[in-house]
Structure 1
Amino acid sequence: MGAGSGTGARRLHPPERVAEYTEAGWWDGETTDSLLRARVREHPDRLALVDPLNKTDLVDSPPLRLSWAGVDAEADRLAAVLLRHGLGQGDVLGVQLPNTAEQVCVYLACWRIGVIVSPLPVQYREHETVQLGQLASFDAFLTASRIGTRRVAAEVLSLRDRIPSLRLLFAYGEGVPEGAVSLAAEAALPYDPAEVSSYIEKHSADPNDCITICWTSGTEATPKGVPRCHNDWLAIARTCAEAPRMTADDVLLNPFPMVNMAGFAGLFLPWLRVGCVLVQHHPFDLPVFLRQIAEERATYTVAPPALLTMLLAREDLLAVTDLSSLTRIGSGSAPLSVAMVTGWQERHGIGVINFFGSNEGTGMLTDPYDVPDPADRARFFPRYGDSSGVRWSTLAATWTSLRIVDPSTGADIEEPGVAGELRIKSPQVFAGYLKGEELPSPFDELGYLKTGDLFEIAGEQGQFLRYVDRAKDLIIRGGMNIAPAELEHLLSGHPAVAEVAVVGYPDAVLGERVCAVVVPRPGTEVSLGEVVAHLQSLHIASYKLPERLEVRGELPRNPVGKVLKRELRGELS
């Protein structure tokens, strides 16, 4: 095949939206490759990218420490390999790699020549690979010969006849199976950078070109493809770099798999925008994570709320860990507890930033600069575009329009304390699902993204929004709505509860009843009576009290850490 046999760029947003957002300055005309080239021009020899400490346990290659020039060279050489094997603008490459330097360089190489990346979590196996490969029509797949103990390249090779579009398999590492392209062998071949430059000149990138197809989190039965272009990804990156006031002097420690919103927007793309150091971490290992903070002098990281709560309770561990470089932490994907956010700030002087978003459209963040009170930061998000007179300093406040809508009537809710669906319009919102013509529209009649999340107006001036729950997770008991997130937040304060998920289970009379699924702290036990007594001591309405308790060793989660309530409900039916 000739170099770059792709069918051409896939533009995502309609021209009128591109013109509107570009004229407003919300989309700045940059691409991921133009940002990479800018970083290389600024400081080519400065450290840019650091591999996990335990990389050799993951894959068959040594840990790397690359400068910006080194990242650029690796990406360019890999782009030449892809072109040599006939991949080009508009082709889709499935990628299944742990968080490593190679993973970063693969993404940057693809975007340099217009190849669309569809990243898969390393936990995905044959079922998910075939399902997503068919949905996105993978032209090629790139992985490692070995990830941990799994021979992933051989697994994918055996699936080729089940993914009709798949014509190529690339693999890093040793023992690459016959029929796959060894990237180690390819790297030893001569390569001419002029060939890549020539291709780029003939296939210029547009900021509206699709660069990724990520996948909804798996809390639903069938994942949906979420295409993203340079424009909306880099708008998100501007906001996520701004929240911690990120600069080129920062050292970012990334423990989130770079497969969806948290991994891409939280650290990877902000790193590309500001030109600091990105330290990769995978899989999550607490001793390694804390060691990386100390040894790499990490200044900023992101972590799920459960981890931050657990760490705060381990004063013995924190006492022997050097956290002196760490100044702020981002968190989200679940409601933050007031005790956790307050504890990190008061005991360690570290501000926790509260993020809310989704693959379809990141929306809001609460940072220590606009909201210095940690209790407010844990509970609330800014009500962008409100009429309270409160001004927010972030770009997101300028370009985000919000609605709170009654799910039954579709009417806008303006009064505090009334839950409704959050709807968002923003340059950070995606253009629509892959094969969206076959799916219900995710947008309302005014063009706002229907998030499926319930919020209510809060704060003395109505300047905040408070998360209530996912609309589909609401439990309706005898006609009364119960928000599991509220109960989960309250139960997380029980001394014997390490983790908790609240779900409904069927009842012939009331429709649903409430079940608390609890993971106890080590060395403790918990009973339904204790759970109910704890909630009664907090004076909640009696109809919200759990009538069933399930004790588990762990909660079922998808590859990016979200609790699979669908599975829990299925088990309780």
Structure 2
Amino acid sequence: MTHSADRIARYTAAGWWTGDTIDQLLAAHVATRPDDTAIVDPLNKADLLDGPPKRLTWEQLGAEVERVAGVLHAHGIGPGDVVAVQLPNSVELAVSFLATVRLGATVTPFPMQYREYELAQLLPLSGARLLVSGRESRAPEGTPTLSWPGDLEGVPGPEIDAGPPRREADPAERVTICWTSGTEATPKGVPRCHYDWLAIEAICTAAPALTSRDVILNPFPMVNMAGIGGVFLPWLRVGATLVQHHPFDLPTYLGQIAAERVTYTLAPPALLTMLLHQDALLAKTDISSLTRIGSGSAPLPPSMVRGWQERHGIAIINFFGSNEGITLLSDPAHMPDPETRARFFPRPGAPGAPELLDRVSTRLVTPDGKEITEPGVPGELRLSGPTVFAGYLPGTAMADPFDEDGYLRTGDLFEIAGERGQYLRFVDRAKDIIIRGGMNIAPAELEALLAGHPAVAEVAVTGYPDDVLGEKVCAVIVSKESGLDLASLVDFLRGKGIASYKLPERLEIVDALPRNPVGKILKRELKL
């Protein structure tokens, strides 16, 4: 899907979309600050990829991107092609991403947890011509693959040394296809271009007031909104130092904050809540450089936001968004009270809201389609604006995500709040998504697989609270026979080659699943 000419004209005339491209942002830093540190590998790099940890200046990063773009070009990659990338957060991931964009091709990034089952579904849907991976490719046999370091590290050859042909990118051309696990069993493809990615970047850069002096620690996989829009592109805009982290390991994470003098990072609310109660652990770690933390994906406990601010002088920024369209944020500049910042979001267009949110148009709508204008009435949040995507990749979604007025249906319930109606308050996720440690899990996918287990008569999958990860997966099952246990379910799913983070960690055996009069399972009655 691409944006219409009318939409491009409207948003460029308003100044919301500009002629900037991702490659231009890189080139500007290479030219003006070549000797400054650009990007740093995770400390545990050897556990993830072969080769020593790297620390590149902007000049070195630019040279690496040019070289790898030459390798990809020599393998036939050019404008409009799709390159799948499955790498941990690392210098190599950033280089692969930027080199693909340099050629006018599209990056489709996959989480490291994806295995044969997921890749066999999504590689054909994406149209990827090849996969860039690390030491171990999990793609189906026969998938064209280039690996780090073997195929991409220091590759000689005159056709590569010459570099790819120079080109000027069109800001409307597709940059990424990310994948979102909705209520449908198969993830949906979310294409994005320079225009809408950099509109998202503008909001995510402004909220923490990032500058070139910042050191940003990124623990979120660079596969969707948090990793790309929340960290990678803001880093590229301001020219800060990016410190990569993967997979999440608390001692390593805290060690990087201390060693690299990190000033800004992201973390899920459950982790921040847990850390706040670990006084002994924090006392042994130097976090004095850290001034603000971005969080989201679940409601923020007001006591947690206040605790970080009062005990450590660190402001928590509350983000709410999705792969399809970033929407809301509460930052300390506009909402200095930490409890207000945790409970509410500024209503776009209302007095006191961040100026950048004026670009976002929101509506709350009742189930029968009526717009809500009074406080205290829950309704589905719908939105439009320059951060909203153009539509799902053809063949990956069953329904149009937009309403008759062109607003994105988010499936999330909010209500108007505040004495002047100046806030929006999150009420609930209308969707059934389970968010485990920042990773989305679609219950429908697991339900479809578990229905094939010989001992399962009926199944529903739901989330249950976890202090560290936010949620974990529970399978609620009506069994055909006695003796069914969690281990056999997990073994069955492992046999399907499914990613390990999706595996159920709890099993409940019931006599019957709760259903409404038309037979639909009542997931709200299964919440544990």
| TM, length-normalised to structure 2 | 0.82
The one-letter code matched in structure 1 to 2:237 is R
Give the equivalent residue in structure 1 for 2:415: 456
**Structure with bigger RCO (C-alpha 8 Å, 6+ apart):** 2
Give the equivalent residue in structure 1 for 2:255: 291
**Displacement, 1:565?**
12
**Displacement, 1:192?**
5.8
Q: 2:363 aligns with which of 394, 403, 407?
A: 403
**Displacement, 1:115?**
1.2
- Tell me, what secondary structure is at the counterpart of 1:252? strand
The one-letter code matched in structure 2 to 1:187 is V
Distance 1:200 1:570 in 2: 63
> Is 1:318 aligned with 2:282?
yes
Give the equivalent residue in structure 2 for 1:429: 388
Give the equivalent residue in structure 1 for 2:107: 117
**Tell me, which stretches of 5 or more residues in structure 1 are unaligned?**
1-10, 146-151, 161-165, 175-181, 475-483, 486-500, 504-512, 522-550
1:369–1:193 Cα change, 3 Å = farther
- Tell me, what secondary structure is at the counterpart of 2:192? strand
Cα offsets for 1:510-532 (capped at 9, x unmatched): xxx9x9945589xxxxxxxxxxx
The one-letter code matched in structure 1 to 2:427 is V
> Is 1:200 aligned with 2:150?
no
Give the equivalent residue in structure 1 for 2:78: 88
Cα offsets for 1:316-368 (capped at 9, x unmatched): 10111101000000000111101110110011010000000000001110000
1:293–1:415 Cα change, 3 Å = same
Distance 2:499 2:204 in 1: 22
Alignment of 1:20-39 (within 5 A): 20-39=10-29
1:423–1:566 Cα change, 3 Å = farther
1:50–1:428 Cα change, 3 Å = same
Distance 1:106 1:26 in 2: 28
Distance 1:20 1:392 in 2: 23
The one-letter code matched in structure 2 to 1:200 is R
Give the equivalent residue in structure 2 for 1:478: none
Structure 1 runs, 4 residues or longer, greater than 6 Å off: 558-572
Give the equivalent residue in structure 1 for 2:152: 183
Alignment of 1:130-149 (within 5 A): 130-145=120-135
**Displacement, 1:441?**
0.8
**Displacement, 1:245?**
0.4
1:233–1:337 Cα change, 3 Å = same
The one-letter code matched in structure 2 to 1:221 is A
Q: 1:393 aligns with which of 331, 354, 363?
A: 354
Alignment of 1:374-523 (within 5 A): 374-386=338-350, 390-395=351-356, 397-407=357-367, 409-435=368-394, 439-473=398-432, 517-519=464-466
Asked if the contact 1:219–1:566 (Cα under 8 Å) also holds between the matched residues in 2, the reply is no
- Per mean C-alpha deviation after superposition, the further-off stretch among 431-440 and 265-274 is 431-440
Cα offsets for 1:237-277 (capped at 9, x unmatched): 11101000000000000000000111101110000011110
Give the equivalent residue in structure 2 for 1:14: 4
Asked if the contact 2:305–2:339 (Cα under 8 Å) also holds between the matched residues in 1, the reply is yes
> Is 1:370 aligned with 2:334?
yes
Distance 1:560 1:336 in 2: 27
Distance 1:317 1:382 in 2: 34
Distance 1:290 1:269 in 2: 23
Distance 1:569 1:224 in 2: 31
**Displacement, 1:40?**
1.1
Distance 1:469 1:65 in 2: 42
The one-letter code matched in structure 1 to 2:2 is L
Percent of aligned positions with the same letter in both sequences? 55
- Tell me, what secondary structure is at the counterpart of 1:187? coil
Distance 2:504 2:216 in 1: 29
**Displacement, 1:571?**
12
Distance 1:516 1:107 in 2: 33
1:356–1:446 Cα change, 3 Å = same
The one-letter code matched in structure 1 to 2:51 is S
Asked if the contact 1:220–1:566 (Cα under 8 Å) also holds between the matched residues in 2, the reply is no
Q: Could you say what the CA RMSD is over the residues aligned between the two structures, in angstroms?
A: 3.1
> Is 1:41 aligned with 2:31?
yes
Asked if the contact 1:239–1:394 (Cα under 8 Å) also holds between the matched residues in 2, the reply is no
Give the equivalent residue in structure 1 for 2:479: none
Asked if the contact 2:274–2:467 (Cα under 8 Å) also holds between the matched residues in 1, the reply is no
Give the equivalent residue in structure 1 for 2:231: 267
- Tell me, what secondary structure is at the counterpart of 1:417? coil
Distance 2:128 2:29 in 1: 31
Distance 2:266 2:63 in 1: 28
> Is 1:53 aligned with 2:37?
no
1:346–1:232 Cα change, 3 Å = same
Distance 2:504 2:326 in 1: 21
Distance 2:210 2:94 in 1: 20
**Displacement, 1:37?**
0.6
**Displacement, 1:572?**
8.5
- Tell me, what secondary structure is at the counterpart of 2:222? coil
1:439–1:49 Cα change, 3 Å = same
The one-letter code matched in structure 1 to 2:401 is P
| TM, length-normalised to structure 1 | 0.76
**Displacement, 1:39?**
1.3
> Is 1:67 aligned with 2:57?
yes
Give the equivalent residue in structure 1 for 2:213: 249
Alignment of 1:204-283 (within 5 A): 204-217=168-181, 220-283=184-247
Give the equivalent residue in structure 1 for 2:265: 301
Distance 1:563 1:460 in 2: 45
Give the equivalent residue in structure 2 for 1:169: 145
Distance 1:562 1:381 in 2: 31
1:362–1:562 Cα change, 3 Å = farther
- Tell me, what secondary structure is at the counterpart of 1:359? coil
- Tell me, what secondary structure is at the counterpart of 1:336? coil
The one-letter code matched in structure 2 to 1:350 is I
Alignment of 1:519-534 (within 5 A): 519=466
**Displacement, 1:59?**
1.1
The one-letter code matched in structure 1 to 2:141 is L
